[in-house]
Structure 1
Amino acid sequence: MPTYRFPALAAFLAAASTLLHGAAAAAPIPIEYFFEQPEFSQALLSPSGKYLAAKVAARGSREGLVVVDLVNNSARKVAQFSDADIGNVHWISEERLLFDTEDKRLGLRDIEYGPGLYAVDRDGQHLRQLADRSGAALRERSIRTLLPWHTFMLEQPGAQDSDYVYVADRKYEWPGVLRREGLLRLNTRTGQSTAVLRPADTEDWLLDYQGEPRLAWAFEKNMATLYLREAADNSWRKLHTHDIYKPGSDSFTPLAFGPDKQLYVRSHQSGDKSAVHVFDSTSGKISKTPLVQLDGFDFSGHLIFGKGRLLGVRHLSEAWETSWVDAAMKKVQEDVDARLPQTINRIDLPARPETDNILVTAESDRQPPLTYVYNTQAKTFNKVGESYSRIDPARMAPQQFLRYKARDGLEIPALLTLPEGSKGKKLPMLVLVHGGPWARASIWGWNPSAQFLASRGYAVLEPDFRGSTGYGDAHLAAGFKQWGLKMQDDVADGARWAIAQGWADPQRICIAGASYGGYATLMGLLRDPELFKCGINWVGVTDIQLMYSGHWSALSDQSERWREYGMPQLIGDPEKDAEQLKATSPLLQAARIRQPLLLAYGGVDRRVPLYHGTKFRDAVKAHNKEVEWVEYAEEGHGWTLPKNRIDFWGRVEKFLDRHIGAGAKTE
């Protein structure tokens, strides 16, 4: 494998980026700068902190795996394939890495089977394939047998102290719907594996602080059961059972086992907003006093352990931030922030440090992620990678997290992105509605879609309407069975609030979104035709009953459990709520939509199958001549291929320009 000087490479890329920024200053920023694959990602320090692994790719080439020796500042590419990109990466010891692959040149239609599994030493030696990725049940490589294609890496890195690692053996009902997940203990040098005894048809696992399996989840009907593995004899016992679809019940989410062997969980024990508590596995009780509680937000994030104790907490409030318990780490964070005052700086630590190296990821609303290695003693920074080097932060738009009131008084969190220098102007605005809908959109930081739209002169409002996660049980539950109703009111109220603030031109507002956001786009055009002048729906639901009935020609990745127990409670019962679902069906009311509309769907979407789009397209085009349709035949639920992302957002740019932008006809 070739060796090269990493600082020289970083300097070369930085110089090229500077030249590009200067040359392009007067012209619109090209679409591909926003939607191309990142050049540098997934940086990870080795357990000692002496080495850094990362994924790198020159433009147009496959992603490879590089290891940097931080002692002598040299780098070596340790894995590269001509027919695949590097996927997930973990250090499994100081000497060895585990990784899988993905093919970023193929859409869902053309992907067959699994990501494979590989291990390699940090010097590029002893590369070994451990799991097949072609779909063959068994395949010989020399004298060894590979694990099957449905072998996957865990998100948890494990102990990182030997050649052994735990991997998942997943069995599926049909594509995308998991039946059960087993666990294998795998030797990455010999390829030999041993199955871990399962307590039931498990679907998820949690390793403890020593990297051993301690918790397992199993699901039956609407109930989730958590099992604990006893350290003494490796037997499993039932720890807790709760209803999956009832927020505010006695449910909790395990987060981690600490060095003290305590189980830390996320729970609503202390009120409406979830917080971090300690769970007593002997009594089955959750501590009454929270360990970590955020003001105005549910806890989302993870605990940071080191030196045999809890050091800090990575959490999401308005943005991803870190709160340190450890006094020494507080001082390190202060030093880093003083050196990098324009960004939020997230620090990651090696598992068993033997050096003074830490990893710093710096990001802001205008700055895509930058990665540094910081030496805490010498107080030196070494920039080792940029995700999007062609993005000039000086040309990006400022973003703010805010809250506005819905018509019934409920506070709605939102992000507002305004083009640079546009304050005081009534702008054309796009209201961008997130999918899920049980998700969160309003996370402050660099966002390619919002920044692209702002670079074209549009204000962008992203509301976290009722039903969004992250703001407490009451905010979540207020969205139950409110598709097309109060959830829709929240979106429209956001647009009217932006008008009242003087940011949005009331004659130039468009609504857009994907998945649930696509559904909300269509309902927005129906319910508020005087407010929304046009709509952009990609991979959007067009009729709730279609989510139940499906179609013989399409596979869905929605489980029968979700259809039977989740959807009736959260969205609407197909029989009891039939009239409401009819009244909130864009498909059944398509003739009423007369505003210009852009529709885009994936040909092999398993979440919102193509017939949602084609049925609605045929219904709306009979009465609306301003309908543009695009189908990406190889894509699923969203655009994985850069060429399709670039094509889609190019269509969005032209569509908006015609209807609310500079090219729009004025009355």
Structure 2
Amino acid sequence: MLKRTLVAAGVLACSSAFAQAPSAMDLSRHAEINQVALSPDGKYVAMTVPTADEKETQLQIVSLDGSGKTQTLRFGRLEHVSDIVWTADDRITVARARTRPLRPLPVSLGQLFSTNLDGSDQETLFGYFRDSGSTTGRRKDQGFASVAQVIDKEPGMALVQFTCWDCGETPDTVVYKVDTRTGHRDEVERVKGTASIFFDQDGKSRARVLYNIDSEPIKIEWRKTVDGPWTEMPRALAGREIERAFFSKDGKTMYAVLTNGGEATSFYKIDMANETREELPSRAGFDVSGILRAGRGGEPFGSMTDAGKPTIKYFDPTSEYAKLHAGMLKAFPGQLVEILSFTRDNKKVLIYTHSDRNPGAWYVVNRDDNSLQLVAEAMPWIKPQQLAPMMPVEFKSRHGETLQAFVTRQGGGAQPMIVLPHGGPHGPYDRWGFDPDAQFFATRGYTVIQVNYRGSGGQGKKFEESGYREWGGKMQDDLADAVKFAVDNKWADAKRVCTFGASYGGYAALMQPIRFPELYRCAIGYVGVYDLTVMNKAGDIPDTESGRRYLKRVLGDEKAVWIANSPARNVDKIKVPVFLAQGAVDNRVPMDQFNAMKNAMSANGVKVETMVAAGEGHGFFDPKNREALYLKVEDFLKRNDAP
């Protein structure tokens, strides 16, 4: 059993007794830490840390020697950073980032910077900087760069993949070998069009997937030997698409997460010389979400799947690293433990623990003495005993499919229920873990059900595509079937069901009482899509050719169908109270959508309450606005969720 020692805060409490519910602000605040990365020598961790006002995300370097020594680095006023990569014991690369309200974690803008531990010798590796007077901006990279791989044998060196933004609709994919200390770069690979490229441990490109303009794979190529030519990889080995791949230290074995024909991904060990493959254990029917590796650059020893309650499959449960991971799980009962990285000597391990009632914490395991250092907690003010458990369930849809869902609730008996459809809708999916929206409702006496309806991610491309052109059809049937399932299991009071959703979830929240008026007492749409005709004209999706092609794929091009499946065009069928919340500067789902819904409802005499937050985009970022939304929704439900 691992022994716990503390660096930053107390160990998370574990109690099944219900405590006072977390406040609306508790669930509105963003995490104190976004990302943690362990140095290769195990002496430091680097963390991305938002400032108190959350207008910046800074890089913090913390010594693990117990001294408490901390170095905080800023990369510019009102700037955010993400994607920490240690390229040497004393060198760190980060990406300039921006925040996204519905997912507050900063997301890379494709500009890379590097620095020493003490903030000296900062270099701009990739980015675009305009000339200023007589000063010429050093970098003119109009595109997106990301670190593809660190070359351990050459400290400070990294492979960076770059895609140009102004080089036509299908620009080349280029790989550079970059000295992160000096910024010097050499081009080492160029592929016509969009591609994913996979490298062996020496930094040699060995496999690549080429895509068309709609991001569909069109060819998979490989180098069977280090110095061999590029040839097409046999379909019997590569399947339809390789999503992730890495190589043994000798470069003779490829490990690949791939799909054979659009079904959920599987994990394979591929003998490159003999052109054979062996499927390794994973949970059938669900995408492989993670691979467990035996040390830094080591062989895989297990796979992870996060559909339902996360599943871990060890290839050999008696192996050294399987036992190590199993010991970590015992140290954190009821939680998922992810291995993020090892030190160069494999003596220290950075892990991330989280669960339905733990927003997340980072620890360093010292394998010499089995000690466990708590580095940081994402949201230390959240206490597990305050929260409700999330239960994975399965049910049959009326169309015959087995669908996955999650039920979050405290206490027993039939409770008022919130149907909480996720956004997207194609690709994203609900998963077991801490969800502030679900916890807000559950800790206030509601059962919450979240459904991975057809079209959701996590179960393969075919399942995702089964939702195409079904926004107002079978996808809505799936949600309604979940309501019946919850009522039949006596989790939900059939007379007290409401729905709440954001983005596509907002669309579904308003389509449900249109399609199934007998099921619902009220509906809440948050930055939702309400008019599909407007969606094809306004917002950032139809602004681009790729966006317009996407809309045609998922919605079709029949305007009569758009109208039939638009809440704003069917308000005469809404017989329940409605609440609408919107960000005034939302570029994804602009005010046109909100106004279309609000005006149509007002014209038809349907009761509607609204909240418009100034300065907010596609979801509210400011915790005060998030808190205000929760409180308004809570008040709305108290007045409208009962007959």
Is the counterpart of residue 29 in structure 1 residue 22 in structure 2? Answer: yes
One-letter identity of the residue aligned with 1:31: A
* 1:278–1:497 distance in 2 versus 1, CA, 3 Å: same
Q: Deviations over 1:225-274 (max 9, x none)?
A: 346475766975565899xxxxxx95222311212443333344499543
Task: Tell me what 2:200 maps to.
Answer: 208
Task: Tell me what 1:10 maps to.
Answer: 8
Q: 2:440 aligns with which of 435, 444, 452?
A: 452
Q: Deviations over 1:105-158 (max 9, x none)?
A: 9999xx9995743212234433334445xx643469999823546453336556
Does the Cα contact within 8 Å between 2:359 and 2:434 map onto a contact in 1?
yes
Task: Tell me what 1:47 maps to.
Answer: 40
Q: Deviations over 1:66-96 (max 9, x none)?
A: 3333345543224135532332211112221
Task: Tell me what 2:399 maps to.
Answer: 408
Does the Cα contact within 8 Å between 2:574 and 2:606 map onto a contact in 1?
no
Alpha-carbon distance in 1 for matches of 2:499, 2:595? 20
After TM superposition, the structure 1 stretch with the greater mean CA deviation from structure 2, 517-526 or 621-630, is: 621-630
Q: 2:341 aligns with which of 344, 349, 354?
A: 349
Q: 1:585 aligns with which of 560, 566, 578?
A: 566
Task: Tell me what 2:593 maps to.
Answer: 612
Is the counterpart of residue 524 in structure 1 residue 507 in structure 2? Answer: no
One-letter identity of the residue aligned with 1:464: N
Q: Deviations over 1:471-520 (max 9, x none)?
A: 35664454343221121111011112212222112221111222222221
Q: Name the SS of the counterpart of 1:638 in structure 2.
A: coil
Task: Tell me what 1:102 maps to.
Answer: 97
Is the counterpart of residue 298 in structure 1 residue 273 in structure 2? Answer: no
Task: Tell me what 1:318 maps to.
Answer: 308
Alpha-carbon distance in 2 for matches of 1:605, 1:235? 48
Task: Tell me what 1:560 maps to.
Answer: 545
* 1:169–1:382 distance in 2 versus 1, CA, 3 Å: same
One-letter identity of the residue aligned with 2:637: L
| Alignment map for 1:333-348 (pairs within 5 Å) | 333-348=325-340
Q: Name the SS of the counterpart of 2:403 in structure 1.
A: strand
Task: Tell me what 1:254 maps to.
Answer: 243
Q: 1:429 aligns with which of 417, 440, 446?
A: 417
After TM superposition, the structure 1 stretch with the greater mean CA deviation from structure 2, 251-260 or 223-232, is: 223-232
Alpha-carbon distance in 2 for matches of 1:106, 1:583? 30
After TM superposition, the structure 1 stretch with the greater mean CA deviation from structure 2, 71-80 or 534-543, is: 71-80
Task: Tell me what 2:608 maps to.
Answer: 627
Alpha-carbon distance in 2 for matches of 1:28, 1:479? 37
Alpha-carbon distance in 2 for matches of 1:651, 1:513? 15
Alpha-carbon distance in 1 for matches of 2:69, 2:228? 42
Q: 2:384 aligns with which of 375, 393, 413?
A: 393
CA positional deviation for 1:417:
0.2
Task: Tell me what 2:524 maps to.
Answer: 536
* 1:365–1:105 distance in 2 versus 1, CA, 3 Å: closer
| Percent of aligned pairs with the same amino acid | 28
Alpha-carbon distance in 1 for matches of 2:545, 2:235? 20
Task: Tell me what 1:468 maps to.
Answer: 456
Does the Cα contact within 8 Å between 1:163 and 1:188 map onto a contact in 2?
yes
Q: 1:573 aligns with which of 553, 556, 559?
A: 556
Q: Name the SS of the counterpart of 2:115 in structure 1.
A: strand
Which segments of 5 or more consecutive residues in structure 1 lack a partner in the other structure?
1-6, 243-248, 661-665
* 1:268–1:30 distance in 2 versus 1, CA, 3 Å: same
After TM superposition, the structure 1 stretch with the greater mean CA deviation from structure 2, 585-594 or 227-236, is: 227-236
Does the Cα contact within 8 Å between 2:417 and 2:492 map onto a contact in 1?
yes
Is the counterpart of residue 220 in structure 1 residue 212 in structure 2? Answer: yes
One-letter identity of the residue aligned with 1:410: E
CA positional deviation for 1:538:
2.1
Task: Tell me what 1:514 maps to.
Answer: 502
CA positional deviation for 1:321:
5.0
Which segments of 5 or more consecutive residues in structure 2 lack a partner in the other structure?
none
* 1:494–1:586 distance in 2 versus 1, CA, 3 Å: same
Alpha-carbon distance in 2 for matches of 1:241, 1:604? 47
Task: Tell me what 1:91 maps to.
Answer: 86
* 1:144–1:568 distance in 2 versus 1, CA, 3 Å: closer
Alpha-carbon distance in 1 for matches of 2:508, 2:531? 11
Alpha-carbon distance in 2 for matches of 1:478, 1:151? 31
* 1:298–1:615 distance in 2 versus 1, CA, 3 Å: same
CA positional deviation for 1:614:
2.1
Q: Name the SS of the counterpart of 1:264 in structure 2.
A: strand
* 1:75–1:410 distance in 2 versus 1, CA, 3 Å: same
Does the Cα contact within 8 Å between 2:129 and 2:139 map onto a contact in 1?
no
| Alignment map for 1:122-161 (pairs within 5 Å) | 122-132=117-127, 136-138=129-131, 145-148=138-141, 150-154=143-147, 159=152, 161=154
> TM-score normalised to the size of structure 2?
0.85
Alpha-carbon distance in 2 for matches of 1:320, 1:131? 37
CA positional deviation for 1:527:
0.9
* 1:651–1:149 distance in 2 versus 1, CA, 3 Å: farther
Does the Cα contact within 8 Å between 1:48 and 1:350 map onto a contact in 2?
no
Q: Deviations over 1:301-336 (max 9, x none)?
A: 345354643333343242445444460012212322
Is the counterpart of residue 163 in structure 1 residue 156 in structure 2? Answer: yes
Q: Name the SS of the counterpart of 1:495 in structure 2.
A: helix
Alpha-carbon distance in 1 for matches of 2:79, 2:518? 49
Q: Name the SS of the counterpart of 2:494 in structure 1.
A: strand
Task: Tell me what 1:663 maps to.
Answer: none
Q: Name the SS of the counterpart of 1:652 in structure 2.
A: helix
Alpha-carbon distance in 2 for matches of 1:137, 1:375? 47
One-letter identity of the residue aligned with 2:60: V
CA positional deviation for 1:626:
2.2
Alpha-carbon distance in 1 for matches of 2:72, 2:100? 21
* 1:92–1:226 distance in 2 versus 1, CA, 3 Å: farther
* 1:56–1:250 distance in 2 versus 1, CA, 3 Å: closer
CA positional deviation for 1:429:
0.9
Q: Deviations over 1:553-593 (max 9, x none)?
A: x54367534644x5545x34314xx5444322223212322
Does the Cα contact within 8 Å between 2:126 and 2:141 map onto a contact in 1?
yes
One-letter identity of the residue aligned with 1:69: S
* 1:186–1:511 distance in 2 versus 1, CA, 3 Å: same
Does the Cα contact within 8 Å between 1:254 and 1:264 map onto a contact in 2?
no
RMSD (Å) for aligned C-alpha atoms = 3.9
CA positional deviation for 1:432:
0.4
Does the Cα contact within 8 Å between 1:255 and 1:263 map onto a contact in 2?
no
Residue-pair matches, total: 625
Q: 1:645 aligns with which of 626, 634, 641?
A: 626
CA positional deviation for 1:180:
5.6
Alpha-carbon distance in 1 for matches of 2:458, 2:6? 43
One-letter identity of the residue aligned with 1:32: M
Does the Cα contact within 8 Å between 1:404 and 1:494 map onto a contact in 2?
yes
CA positional deviation for 1:521:
1.4
One-letter identity of the residue aligned with 1:368: P
Task: Tell me what 1:328 maps to.
Answer: 320
* 1:154–1:188 distance in 2 versus 1, CA, 3 Å: closer
| Alignment map for 1:73-84 (pairs within 5 Å) | 74-81=68-75, 82-84=77-79
Q: Name the SS of the counterpart of 1:102 in structure 2.
A: strand
Alpha-carbon distance in 1 for matches of 2:101, 2:531? 29
Is the counterpart of residue 309 in structure 1 residue 299 in structure 2? Answer: yes
Alpha-carbon distance in 1 for matches of 2:329, 2:235? 43
After TM superposition, the structure 1 stretch with the greater mean CA deviation from structure 2, 429-438 or 330-339, is: 330-339
One-letter identity of the residue aligned with 1:225: I
Task: Tell me what 1:497 maps to.
Answer: 485
One-letter identity of the residue aligned with 1:423: G
One-letter identity of the residue aligned with 1:649: Y
One-letter identity of the residue aligned with 1:379: N
One-letter identity of the residue aligned with 1:102: A
Alpha-carbon distance in 2 for matches of 1:160, 1:523? 56
One-letter identity of the residue aligned with 2:358: Q
* 1:102–1:408 distance in 2 versus 1, CA, 3 Å: closer
Does the Cα contact within 8 Å between 1:83 and 1:103 map onto a contact in 2?
no
